[in-house]
Amino acid sequence: MLIYRFLSGEDDSAFCHKVTKALVDGWQLHGSPTYGYDAVTKKMRCGQAVTKTVRDQPYDPDKKLTEY
């Protein structure tokens, strides 16, 4: 089964660490990163989709994706 997550956050080192941690945990980058200005907070925000192939099992929408 292929699972999908979208990581987002302020454009800072914490976001880079979040993506790096996902990669270390077996997730793979999916598509290009996004980058946009948040007019409310007046800060730049980043986003990156990641996917991971896990053993086939029933999908449970209540289960955290990081628990697969």
pLDDT digits (tens, 9 = 90+) for 6-15: 999 999 999 9
DSSP letter for 1, please. Answer: -
The length of the chain is: 68
pLDDT digits (tens, 9 = 90+) for 26-66: 999 999 999 999 999 999 999 999 999 999 888 999 999 88
DSSP for 8-39, written as a single string: EEESSHHHHHHHHHHHHTT-EEEEEEEEEEET
Domain boundaries, given as residue ranges, for the chain: 2-56
Task: Give the closest residue to 35 by CA, choosing from 66, 5, 12, 4.
Answer: 12
Query: What pLDDT is recorded for position 22?
Result: 97
Q: Give the per-residue SS3 of 37-65.
A: EECCCCEEEEEEEEEEECCCCCCCCCCCH
